[in-house]
Structure 1
Amino acid sequence: MLFEELAELTGQRNAIDGRIVEIVAEVDRDRLWAAAGARSVASLVAWKAGVTPARAETIATLAHRLDGFPLCHQGLREGRLSLDQVGTIAERAADGSDEHYAELAASATVTQLRFALKLAPKPKPEPRPEPEVEPEPDHTPEPAPAPQPSISKTSDEHSTTWRITLPALEAAKFDAALASHQDALITDWKRDHDTEAADGSGQHGSGQPGSGQRPPMPTTADAFLALVEASWDAETSRRPHGQHTTVVAHLDLDKPVAALHLGPLLSDADRRYLTCDATCEVWFERHGRPIGAGRTTRTVNRRLRRALEHRDRCCAVPGCGATHGLHAHHIRHWEDGGPTDLNNLVLVCPYHHRAHHRGLITITGPADQLVVTDGAGRALSSASLARTPTTPPPAAAPYKGPTGERADWWWYEPFQPQPPPSKN
């Protein structure tokens, strides 16, 4: 009895997943996820359905390819196939393979489906048509493609090895920076050596009086560490997680407009976004003539930034969860009299920061009573849409599942993509 009930409930769950996929397909087609403040349809599913990002990606992928796999989706809606089975097919199968994998999924596990998809031949690129008239051979050698910047890391319990590949121009900048820091270190090293020789103290290097040991001459590795430390000690505004631009804006007191220095006019949304967490220099004008310069007071300093990160931990928009590249946003805009303090600041990701200044979402405070609404004025929350059902479960066949037998891949014939019809 327990197995029968399990099969019946699993079939109903599969049918419900099939309907969810259809709903997500409509949301994806009409781009309703953007209106809700989500950054993608998968993010919306993870938020509203309360599932993991990996499962949300599976649902979104199946919804995107729904028209290409009608038989597999029919099996899901009828309860005969599971979401993981059909999702695996939608993620990896080639076009035109719906019938083949719908039949295989009736008796194969998810693991067996993944292995079968690995056996399928990869599509070959279409051959290019040969030109009617062969061009004259060009003996000029083709320039070699520029190497792409890359960094690889290999570590063990004693040390770490970094391998850096840079194009010629970037490598020249890197070499110049290393040489500059190494020259500075060598200059300091020589000055300390001359001072030691002049006073005859012999107390340098190891820190032990009278040891007479000098520190070794600075190497390229020392210069690299100095370069890293110099970057680390930079101001917060030059960190990757903060706005690192200095915005020079001209604001006419007689007109509600602003313009970038030697640049175009700014809309209200663009002006508020650019100057929300940036080093901003505002020049006030009247009748087109400068009358004074504003102060750079809206910048979030390092100490306040750390307090924000400790309090918010991630993007403040419900359901987002982004933790990298966050911007410090003034809830009440600085130009409207909002102070640069903890109660008027909140961390938001760049996507939702732009969405707020474009009017797609609204963020109101103070920070301890933060309210985020979408474009229609509906409050967003981090809770999923799950609630107690009021309708009977869908009619679905009991889920029989795979046969459980060991697959003999010797007899399996992988799906062969059909060649395109000849144009002749």
Structure 2
Amino acid sequence: MSVFATENASCADLSLDELEDQIATLASHIYAGTCRWLELVAELDRRGGFAGCSVAEWLAWRCALSPRSAREHVRVARRLAELPLIHEAFGCGELSYARVRALTRVAEPEDERELLELARHLTAAQLERAVRAYRHVTAAEADDLHAIAYAGYSWQQDGSLVVRARLAPEDGALFVRVLEASRERLAEREPSAERGSAEPRRPTAAEALLAMAEASLAGRVDRSGGERYQVVVHVDAGEGGSTLEDGPALARKTAERLACDASLVEIVERNGKPLSVGRRTRTIPPSIGRALQGRDGRCRFPGCENRRFLHAHHIRHWAHGGETRLENLVLLCSRHHRFVHESGYSLRACTDGKLEFRDPWGGPIPYVSR
């Protein structure tokens, strides 16, 4: 029998005053406990999440929260660290989570004390209405929000790109909506589940952002075998080093993936100075690209039905002697192309025309017959 069941057995013996006091006291304990729980959530968030998923995704799984509720709890946990007075009142059991949630939507350090005093005299519902009115009053500062909007990026020492942005509310809402729509479209093309997982894998926000970039640059023409956009990579034919133009170094396998279906320009240099520049040629001629699109029509990775943003992949890379023939080519989506080049997956063409895929540990993945 649980502690709660034992205590509930004597509830009928309490007087009305005692019943009210215990309910209010336990509610205060719940508020303080929730504050402590959010402090732990904030620490997990500070450490970068759990096992490759976001903190909100982890909370939804481990604590059985809805995705929306999990995201809101993470938002509140982050704001509490910036609002010490509200944080203290919450930790003492003085404020309910509903009140704290409302306060963290608008409170800033300079007006925190005033809003906290307001919260002490209003119900949670009244405070929600007051917060909406407060937001309406500060909407006059919309021009300032647009003035401080920015977007920027920087290359890190490990070669990764960090993107930072701050948008006005309506612009931010538009961006989030497009990002979530992109994520949903990617999710629709996911296999039913990853191997060994009971649930389908949800695409990350980073993958959704990349898909947005590809869609923007591809324009209205969505096809494979064409030069949708250009990213310049310099590859040293002698030493094999690769770098992005005006950017960081790339892994050899990343450069090979980018070169699977790309334009090539041979530049002869001496002491860092170009001596001659050859004509630009494509690794995959348009005629073969059209035939490949007609044959495959979609990503050939098992379980993937993606028919957009496909890359022509050399089964045996041309840099290693592979020929640019239809028999040595296959269409893969952006994600699975990366799997094959950089994540340890492999494939080979069988004599009967089928493809044999293997995971990073050498285990076979059921092939797709076309």
* TM superposition score normalised by structure 1: 0.38
In our comparison, the structure showing a higher alpha carbon Rg is 1
TM-score (norm 2): 0.42
Instruction: Point out the structure with the larger helix share.
Output: 2
Bigger RCO of structures 1 and 2 (CA < 8 A, at least 6 apart) = 1
